[in-house]
């Protein structure tokens, strides 16, 4: 007999879906209570920005109406303008997760192979497996960087290649020239998905985006999100940039009308350069504080291009003991003794620091 859990799993597989379920990752925690320090899901502790909040409040009045085509197209135009492409290159989704989901629907299934690094952000890997695809995972190098040589060698077997640049969870990032070189080469034989969820935390960001490959006509899909530097993870808005025929096919898998408050908030966030710059600066300062802490404690870490730090926890097993102090970091999610801590506010990092010092 099927257990309830297996039944849910097999229904999900039948539907060709798998759930990211970030909500389940930390177990039953009353996160809405302000005493919890959440350093486990790579959220921006400073968001939403005042401008995004105001835009949502202003938009609530029309919460009884679906978004209309004009609003959607105006937002796509705004993104297109920001990225230097046309509206037809842009596909919107409920977070970049939905863009990953769309790509899995279009390119993966029985007999198909997804090629990706390991570790990486596992959503599309799980979606691929749920659809019966093979997933070829190429281990990162000992320096915790994507192994481009090994990925190139395996690419002949791939139906879709997924890069996460910068890499979550490692925080590492290949130089832009190397990233663009491999994406462009591999895109000659199969679609290449570049997930740039954390690119805005890099100096300089947009100049290096692989959107430039899409502009050259390469079969590359670039995903970006409002969940990270824009501080809108709970609102669910992201987008993909791809060749127009690809963007159109991906868009055909959209499950539902987009959320009007998410659109209003994201549109305001895109204009809010001050908030973006201050998040960038404060997250960078937070990373430096975490490096100092780990240096003091003799904990190995990887300098991060993103909004979290990948460190070698070894057998210290901090997560359950931090949880007793209402501090959340991932628990049991990664292998090889590695773990990840999201950059919180200065105060949160100080509390994390005090706690791990007392455990060390
Ligand atoms: N891609 C990467 C690399 C991520 O780390 C995440 C979330 O943590 C996502 C995509 C999905 O983000 P969202 O669906 O909120 O845009």
As a whole number of Å, the CA-based R_g of the chain is 20
Whether residue 3 has pLDDT greater than 50: no
- Mutation test of ligand 1: which of 21, 124, 227, 343 has the most ligand atoms closer than 8 Å to its C-beta? 227
- CA–centroid distance, residue 327 to ligand 1 (Å): 21
The pLDDT of 128-149, averaged and rounded, is 98
pLDDT tens digits, 181-236: 999 999 999 999 999 999 999 987 666 899 999 999 999 999 999 999 999 999 99
**SS3 of residue 80 by DSSP:** helix
Supply the pLDDT for residue 310. Answer: 98
Whether residue 4 has pLDDT greater than 70: no
Peptide bond before 119: cis, by omega within 30 degrees of 0?
yes
- CA–centroid distance, residue 197 to ligand 1 (Å): 6
Whether residue 111 has pLDDT greater than 50: yes
Q: Which atom of ligand 1 is nearest to the CA of 96?
A: 16
**Local structure of residue 211 (DSSP, 8 states):** H
Please, which pLDDT band fits residue 11 given cuts at 50, 70 and 90? Answer: very low
Cβ contact 173:202 at 8 Å: yes
Supply the pLDDT for residue 30. Answer: 62
Please, which pLDDT band fits residue 255 given cuts at 50, 70 and 90? Answer: confident
State if residue 167 touches ligand 1 by the CB under 6 angstroms criterion.
no
Peptide bond before 166: cis, by omega within 30 degrees of 0?
yes
Supply the pLDDT for residue 12. Answer: 44
Q: Which atom of ligand 1 is nearest to the CA of 238?
A: 16
The pLDDT of 76-96, averaged and rounded, is 98
Burial of 200: CB neighbours in 10 Å, binned 0-12, 13-18, 19+: buried
């Amino acid at each position: 007999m099927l257990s309830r859990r297996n039944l849910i799993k097999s229904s999900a597989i039948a539907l060709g879906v798998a759930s990211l379920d970030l909500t389940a990752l930390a177990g039953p925690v009353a996160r809405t209570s302000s005493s919890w320090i959440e350093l486990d899901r790579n959220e921006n502790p400073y968001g939403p920005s005042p401008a995004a909040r105001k835009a949502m409040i202003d938009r609530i009045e029309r919460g009884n109406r679906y978004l209309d085509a004009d609003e959607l197209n105006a937002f796509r135009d705004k993104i297109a303008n920001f990225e230097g492409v046309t509206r037809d290159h842009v596909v919107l989704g409920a977070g970049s997760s939905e863009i990953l989901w769309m790509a899995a629907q279009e390119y993966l299934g029985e007999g198909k192979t997804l090629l990706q690094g390991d570790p990486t952000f596992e959503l599309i890997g799980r979606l691929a497996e749920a659809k019966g695809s093979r997933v070829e995972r190429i281990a990162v190098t000992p320096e915790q960087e994507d192994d481009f040589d090994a990925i190139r060698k395996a690419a002949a077997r791939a139906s879709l290649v997924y890069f996460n640049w910068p890499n979550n969870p490692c925080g590492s990032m290949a130089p832009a020239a190397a990233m663009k070189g491999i994406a462009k080469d591999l895109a000659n034989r199969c679609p290449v998905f570049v997930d740039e969820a954390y690119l805005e935390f890099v100096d300089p960001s947009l100049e290096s985006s692989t959107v430039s490959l899409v502009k050259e006509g390469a079969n590359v899909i670039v995903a970006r999100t409002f969940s990270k530097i824009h501080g809108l993870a709970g609102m669910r808005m992201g987008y993909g940039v791809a060749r127009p025929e690809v963007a159109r096919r991906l868009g055909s898998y959209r499950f539902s009308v987009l959320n009007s408050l998410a659109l209003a908030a994201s549109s305001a966030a895109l204009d809010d350069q001050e908030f973006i710059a201050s998040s960038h600066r404060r997250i960078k300062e937070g990373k430096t504080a975490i490096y100092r802490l780990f240096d003091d404690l003799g904990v190995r870490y990887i300098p991060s291009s993103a909004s979290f730090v990948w460190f070698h926890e070894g057998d210290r097993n901090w997560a359950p003991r931090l949880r007793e102090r209402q501090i959340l970091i991932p628990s049991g999610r990664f292998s090889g003794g590695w773990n990840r801590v999201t950059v919180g506010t200065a105060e949160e990092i100080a509390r994390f620091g005090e706690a791990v010092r007392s455990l060390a």
